[in-house]
Amino acid sequence: MLVLVEQSLNGLQFGLLLFLLAAGLTLVFGIMDFVNLAHGSLYMMGAYFAATFVAWTGSFVLGALLALGATLLLGMALEFIALRHLYGRDHLDQVLATFGLILFFNDAVRLIWGPAGLALPLPAWLTVPVQIIPGVYYPAYRLSIIVAALAVAALLYVVVMRTRLGMLIRAGASNREMIGALGINIKLLFTLVFGLGAALAGLAGLMQAPILTVQIGMGENILILAFVIIVIGGIGSIRGAFLAAIFVGMIDTLGRAFLPDLLRKVLSGAAASTAAPALSSMLIYLLMAIVLVVRPEGLFPAARR
Amino acid sequence: MKTAFWLAGATVLALAQPAVAGDTIKIGFVSTFSGPTAVIGNDMRNSFELALDHLGRKMGGKPVEVIYEDDGQKPDVGKQKTEKLVQSDKVDFIAGYIWSNVLLASLKTAVDSQTFLISANAGPSQLAGELCSPYVFSTSWQNDQTPQAMGVYMNQKGVKSVFLIGPNYAAGKDMLAGVKSTFKGEVVGEEYTVWPSQLDFSAELTKAKNSKAESIFVFYPGAAGVQFLNQYAQAGIKAQIPLYTAFTVDELSLPLQKDNAIGIPGAQEWVNDLPNAENKKFVEDYRKKYPGLRPTYYGAQAYDAAQLINSAVIAVKGDTSKKDAMKAEMEKANFKSLRGPFKYGNNHIPIQNFYLQDVVKDADGQLSLKTVATIVKDDQDRFHDKCPMK
């Protein structure tokens, strides 16, 4: 039972991390109707910025905040210089251009930081396990990811649903021309939204960095999961991204945790231990396929259009 | 302007002129030079280049040409690159190969064309057993050997039970099978993770912790080893359950693993401080030629591969058409390996010692690897009986 609690926390933590990545993607995809394959590169840049700034300042929190600001600025600059010229094009052009950006970022990182990758060490107070309920110890850092991601989710909800900026974002999503005609600077709005998406990706990258390593191409595998999540959750829906991300994180982690033992009951030991990881990584895509058949618009589509 | 253009054109043509067959020794080198594991390929290339420097960039009096190809850590790409080297470059030797699955995909192409293939790292069990070939030699090990040595060490330490974790591909399965074959205690659990995409091991670590095993054994090469040790330390398991490893801590991962690697034992056939003269020269010259970098066992094996090829070319005085004579010479392992004692079994896999390595702070205050003990002497892999070559 305690194992289940701990594994569920693992799943929740992974899911929330995926949410941060997916939220930025769904904002940009759903509101600006723009396919950004380079979202994973912004995740990578967030991690590289954090590793650099933490080494400079010697403080994890300060370095992380600086990295967040740097990714925000990078995202806005990217939108201003390159991406805004692609809004009118069809999705295939956007895919090609942003795929080019992935290659650009990977090689830029190789030039600046070298091919070997970086380490982002944690401060001592985050490396100790915490007792959450009697008998269950959980890594403090993973716990802090859960807390931070939940806070960001709440903040995002308040900004989008309760503020003037959020109203403009939602209005821009439902009718771009009309909001422009009403005198709102839609270009600036989109630059801001893209920067926000970039900062969310950067936050995901810098929070994941101490668990993984900071390395070239780190955003590419995880980006696929983020796309799966926005498809399951409904494109453009932050609520959908939130719930779908937790689903996916749970299914992935609990699948890995319990599927091998279940399979061992029906298959031989060797066959089960080979099949289980393959099968558990398939579960997510299976879920996506089912959602696409039953509800092609996603589980929680944004109410609009 | 026009003259300059023609001159440039002529230079390009001159450079592109293929060397007349027989004038140079052509070696193809397949390794990973892009993506997160490119650091390993770079280390192998650096060491291979250093070996050529030490040989005066000649073998048997002929200049050497090396064509490096990037497999991107993908079996299909590795196979294509091997085909290109064999069919259009017509190389005399192919060396390299980090990954067992890439090597297994490329093997047939080399063997069918009777091109000598020197594996400088990958050692899948099939290669030592039923797929052994007169044209294939290894300067590394068979995958099972290193974890087998670790199993022996764990017996010496009196470890009673273990939880095994490794990646779900050819080498991962060999490694866990290897440790199981020598470890006398109980194997409480065995987990395979998706390779190379899975980087979060929280589910596996939680299972290991709750299995009440006395120890954990892992095999995670490259960056995955850094991630595993990070998460192992963060979960607080380092203080509770000791970790034993194969190919998880090396000179490339150590700068990223830092203190997380202290106290984590590993088994290895080569360690940078092995006391023979060739090895001292290798480590010294490597650090001189590539400032800021330190050689790894991957590099040492690539260096040995160059020496092995050199011995074969010298034996036939540069006439690489004499394949039987070259094979006979290579079987003698007539070169000074960086790891010291080195000879070949019937399946062309080395018979060699395995050492226990530990992480220590060296004179410069930097973390480095150190030989602590010899775990097994003259170890031969356990698949050589299955090889039809006698």
Q: pLDDT tens for residues A206-251?
A: 999 998 889 888 888 889 999 999 999 988 888 899 999 999 999 9
- Cβ pair B258:A221 closer than 8 A: no
Residue A99, pLDDT score: 94
HEC string for A223-257: HHHHHHHHHHHCCCCHHHHHHHHHHHHHHHHHHHH
pLDDT at A270 over 80: no
Choose the most confident range, by mean pLDDT, from A168-177, B3-12, B35-44: B35-44
The predicted-structure confidence for B14-62, as pLDDT tens digits, reads as follows: 444 444 446 899 999 999 998 778 889 999 999 999 999 999 999 999 9
Across the range B327-344, mean pLDDT stands at 95
What is the average pLDDT across B90-112?
A: 95
Q: Are A139 and B234 in contact (CB under 8 A)?
A: yes
Closest by Cβ to B42, choosing from A115, A127, A218 = A115
Domain limits for position A199: 2-294
Among the partner residues B200, B206, B235, nearest to A7 by beta-carbon distance = B206
Report the C-alpha gap between B101 and B172 in whole angstroms. 10
Structure tokens at A227: 């796309």
> What is the sign of the dihedral through the CA atoms of B177, B234, B270 and B107?
positive
Q: Number of CB pairs < 8 Å for A and B?
A: 103
User: What span, in angstroms and rounded, lies between the C-alpha atoms of B35 and B284?
Assistant: 28
Per cent of chain B over pLDDT 70 is: 94
Task: Name the one residue in this structure whose structure tokens are 């109980």.
Answer: B186
Tell me whether residue A100 is in a domain.
Answer: yes
Instruction: Note the pLDDT of residue B22.
Output: 62
**3-state DSSP call for residue B367?**
strand
Interface contact flag, A211 B223, Cβ < 8 Å: no
Query: Which of B192, B210, B251 would best serve as a mutation to test chain A binding (most A beta carbons within 10 A)?
Result: B192
Residue of A213, A258, A280, A283 to mutate, testing the B interface (most B Cβ within 10 Å of its Cβ) = A213
Residue B109: which H helix or E strand, with range? helix B100-112
B39, B168, B252 member nearest A274 (Cβ): B168
Q: Check residue B6 and give its pLDDT.
A: 53
More confident residue, A178 or B108: B108
d(CA B198, CA B167): 9
Q: What is the dihedral of CA B253, B259, B261, B265, to 10 degrees?
A: 140
pLDDT above 90: residue A302: no
Instruction: Tell me which chain B residues have a C-beta less than 8 angstroms from the C-beta of A215.
Output: 36, 223
Residue A83: inside a domain: yes
B181 in contact with chain A, both atoms CB, cutoff 8 A:
no
Binary contact (B194, A281; C-beta < 8 A): yes
- pLDDT at residue A42, rounded to an integer: 96
- Return mean pLDDT, chain A: 89
Closest CA to B34 of B84, B94, B66, B81: B81
Report the C-alpha gap between B319 and B298 in whole angstroms. Answer: 29
CA of B205 vs chain A CAs: smallest distance (Å): 10
For B66-79, letters b (16+ CB in 10 Å) and e give bebbbbbbbbebbb
Q: Which residue of B has its CA nearest to A116?
A: B39
Average pLDDT, chain B: 91
Cβ atoms of A22 and A229 within 8 Å: the answer is yes
By C-alpha distance, which of B210, B386, B230, B94 is closest to A257?
A: B210
Are A10 and B197 in contact (CB < 8 Å)? no
Which residue, among A38, A33, A20, has the nearest Cα to A82 in the 3D structure?
Answer: A38
CATH number at residue A111: 1.10.3470
Domain membership of residue A279 (yes or no) is yes
Question: Quick check: A10 and B231 CB within 8 A?
Answer: no
Residue range A28-46: mean pLDDT, rounded: 90
Question: How many percent of chain A have pLDDT more than 90?
Answer: 52
- State whether residue B39 sits within 8 Å of chain A by CB: yes
* pLDDT bracket for residue A303 (50, 70, 90): low
Chain B residues with CB under 8 Å of A280 CB are: 194
Q: Is residue A258 part of a domain?
A: yes
Q: In terms of pLDDT, which residue wins out, B258 or B280? A: B280
Q: Are A3 and B39 within 8 A, CB to CB?
A: no
The yes-or-no verdict on residue B67 having pLDDT over 70 is yes
CA distances from A84 to A32, A72, A75 (A): 10, 16, 12
Asked whether residue A299 is assigned to any structural domain, the reply reads: no
Give the mean pLDDT of A141-160: 93
Please report whether residue A81 resides in a domain: yes
In a domain, A302, yes or no: no
Cβ contact (<8 Å) for B206 and A278?
no
Examine residue A301 and state whether it is found in any structural domain, yes or no: no
Give me the pLDDT at residue A261, please.
Answer: 82
Which of B168, B210, B230 is nearest residue A277 as measured by Cβ atoms? B168
Torsion, CA A295, CA A297, CA A298, CA A301, rounded to 10: -130
Residue of A nearest to B223 (CA): A213
Per the CB < 8 A criterion, the answer to whether B359 and B371 are in contact is no
Q: Are B193 and A256 within 8 A, CB to CB? A: yes
Under 8 Å between Cβ of A235 and A294: no
Three-state DSSP at A92 gives: helix
Chain B residue with CA closest to A115: the answer is: B39
pLDDT of residue A268: 76
Q: What is the pLDDT of residue B12?
A: 47
- Asked if residue A113 has pLDDT above 80, the reply is yes
CB contact under 8 A, B223 and A122: no
CA distance to partner chain A, nearest, from residue B389 (Å): 29
Shortest CA gap A118–chain B (Å): 6
Q: Count how many domains chain A has.
A: 1
- Determine, for residues B203 and A137 on separate chains, whether the beta-carbon distance falls below 8 Å: no
Distance CA B299, CA B293 (A): 11
pLDDT class of B77 with cuts at 50, 70, 90: very high
Does the CB of B257 have a partner CB in chain A at under 8 Å? Answer: yes
Identify whether the C-beta of residue A304 lies closer than 8 Å to the C-beta of residue A173: yes
* pLDDT at A127 (0 to 100): 83
- Mean pLDDT of the B312-334 span: 94
- Which of B191, B173, B223, B231 lies closest to B73 in space, CA to CA? B223
